[in-house]
């Protein structure tokens, strides 16, 4: 075989110039992509279902009366107790005996009112949790 | 990118296919030297692209991104494959004949000989030669496909052509 450069070029061009996939390549690929797409959609739907279930579990946990009370009361009680302690310590030297008398007379009502206020905060918090609409995932 | 953002990946792939199908196939073929394996890799590459399209951030150009996926997929396929096939395998010869359906007997013999010579080239030179003639003799395209500097492509091409010419000359003398 005596092959000059131009002849070599011609052969190489003929060998590799027309290199291409088979005729049904695109059809096969699109069929695979459709199958992938369906699998993908099914996997996504499963993920959404799992996410929704997780969300519902989280909400029901939040709505659990005792858990909510404990969670919210702990924060509220700590804050209010701290504020009350600071207020009492600051105001104590200025209390007259009359104020103490008033406290003795109406202390029960004041304590009751404070309890209602303290109790109302977690109740309001729970109401806000329940009123919030579930987040749309899709 | 608009199509990807709008979750219309199938349409995006349908647009990318005509532009990149042949190049990706050629790249895979230059690594694997097996038409069927190269087609399988090309399919895998486009499925990978389809999956990864939503994550494509446009930092690199689309072609660079696609060729990187294609090179990695081809190398993985090459590593996974046990026996090394050859360009001069009967199925490759059938593929060559399929490109030019009615060549004369002499032409088939010449092409088969050239194919065997290409097969004997070092891997990089062989890849450059194949892609150069596949890509309408564009150095730039070959450089992009193989992620090589153009200078390197030119050097490899020059060496490959010199080897082929010398080998073809020797074959001519012995014939």
pLDDT digits (tens, 9 = 90+) for A6-29: 778 888 888 888 888 888 898 899
Q: How confident is the model over B49-92, as pLDDT tens digits?
A: 998 888 888 788 888 999 999 999 999 998 887 555 555 555 55
Q: How confident is the model over B113-163, as pLDDT tens digits?
A: 888 888 889 989 999 999 998 877 789 989 999 999 999 999 999 999 888
Chain A, chain B: beta-carbon pairs less than 8 Å apart: 103
- Chain A hits for B42, Cβ within 8 Å: 21, 25
- Chain B hits for A33, Cβ within 8 Å: 10, 13, 46-47, 50
- Chain B hits for A39, Cβ within 8 Å: none
Kindly determine whether residue B21 and residue A21, on different chains, have CB atoms separated by under 8 Å. Answer: yes
Rounded to 10 degrees, the C-alpha dihedral A62/A68/A70/A71 comes to 60
Q: What pLDDT does residue B150 have?
A: 93
Provide DSSP, chain A. Answer: ----HHHHHHHHHHHHTT----TTHHHHHHHHHHHHHHHHHHHHHHHHHHHHHHHHHHHHHHH-HHHHHHHHHHHHHHHHHHHHHHHHHHHGGG--HHHHHHHHHHHHHHHHHHHHHHHHHHHHHHHHHHHSPPPP--
Q: What pLDDT does residue B147 have?
A: 92
Q: What pLDDT does residue B39 have?
A: 93
Residue B126 phi/psi, 5° resolution?
-65, -45
Kindly determine whether residue B100 and residue A14, on different chains, have CB atoms separated by under 8 Å. Answer: yes
Taking residues B17-29, what's their average pLDDT?
92
Is A73:A122 a contact under the CB 8 Å cutoff? yes
Q: How confident is the model over A79-122, as pLDDT tens digits?
A: 787 888 888 778 777 766 677 777 788 888 888 888 887 777 77
Residue A3 has pLDDT above 50, yes or no: no
State how far the Cα of B77 lies from the Cα of B48, in Å rounded to an integer: 14
If you count them, how many residues does chain A have?
138
State how far the Cα of A122 lies from the Cα of B27, in Å rounded to an integer: 66
**Is B92's Cβ below 8 Å from some Cβ in A?**
no
**Is B158's Cβ below 8 Å from some Cβ in A?**
no
State how far the Cα of B159 lies from the Cα of B170, in Å rounded to an integer: 16
Kindly determine whether residue B25 and residue A18, on different chains, have CB atoms separated by under 8 Å. Answer: no
- Chain A hits for B99, Cβ within 8 Å: 14-15, 17-19
Residue the block writes with tokens 């689309």: B62
Quick one: closest CA in B to A22, which residue? B39
Residue A137 has pLDDT above 80, yes or no: no
Distance set, CA B41 to CA A22, B30, B96, B116 (Å): 13, 12, 20, 24
Residue B79 phi/psi, 5° resolution?
-65, -35
Kindly determine whether residue A19 and residue B136, on different chains, have CB atoms separated by under 8 Å. Answer: no
**Is B75's Cβ below 8 Å from some Cβ in A?**
no
The confidence band for A69, taking pLDDT boundaries of 50, 70 and 90, is low
* Burial of A20: CB neighbours in 10 Å, binned 0-12, 13-18, 19+: middle
Cα angle B36, B140, B10; round to 5 = 50
Is B147:B60 a contact under the CB 8 Å cutoff? no
Q: What pLDDT does residue B88 have?
A: 54
ipTM of the complex, rounded to two decimals:
0.71
- To the nearest whole Å, the CA of A79 is away from the closest chain B CA by 46
Is B51:A36 a contact under the CB 8 Å cutoff? yes
- Chain B hits for A19, Cβ within 8 Å: 22, 25-26, 29, 99, 130, 134
**Is B116's Cβ below 8 Å from some Cβ in A?**
no
Q: How confident is the model over B11-20, as pLDDT tens digits?
A: 888 889 998 9
> Percent of chain A at pLDDT above 90?
5
């Amino acid at each position: 075989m005596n092959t000059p450069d131009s002849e070599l070029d011609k052969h190489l061009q003929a060998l590799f110039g027309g290199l291409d996939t088979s005729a049904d390549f695109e059809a096969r690929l699109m069929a695979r992509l459709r199958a992938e797409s369906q699998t993908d959609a099914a996997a996504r739907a499963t993920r959404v279902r799992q996410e929704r279930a997780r969300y519902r579990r989280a909400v029901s946990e939040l709505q659990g009366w005792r858990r909510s009370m404990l969670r919210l009361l702990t924060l509220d009680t700590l804050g209010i107790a701290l504020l009350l302690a600071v207020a009492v310590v600051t105001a104590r030297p200025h209390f007259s005996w009359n104020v103490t008398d008033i406290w003795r007379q109406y202390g029960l009502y004041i304590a009751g009112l404070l309890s209602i206020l303290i109790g109302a905060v977690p109740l309001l918090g729970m109401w806000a949790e329940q009123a919030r609409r579930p987040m749309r995932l899709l | 990118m608009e199509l990807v953002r709008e979750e219309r990946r199938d349409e995006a792939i349908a647009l990318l296919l005509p532009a990149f199908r042949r190049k990706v196939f050629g790249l895979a073929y230059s690594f694997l030297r097996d038409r069927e394996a190269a087609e399988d890799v090309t399919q895998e590459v486009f499925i990978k692209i389809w999956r990864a399209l939503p994550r494509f951030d446009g930092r690199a150009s689309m072609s660079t991104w696609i060729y990187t996926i294609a090179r990695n997929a081809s190398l993985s396929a090459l590593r996974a494959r046990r026996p090394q096939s050859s360009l001069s395998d009967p199925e490759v010869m059938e593929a060559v004949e399929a490109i030019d359906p009615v060549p004369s007997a002499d032409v088939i013999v010449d092409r088969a000989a050239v194919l065997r010579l290409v097969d004997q080239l070092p891997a990089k030179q062989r890849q450059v030669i194949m892609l150069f003639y596949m890509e309408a003799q564009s150095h730039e395209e070959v450089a992009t496909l193989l992620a090589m500097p153009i200078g390197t492509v030119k050097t490899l091409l020059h060496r490959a052509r010199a080897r082929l010419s010398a080998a073809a000359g020797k074959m001519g003398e012995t014939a």
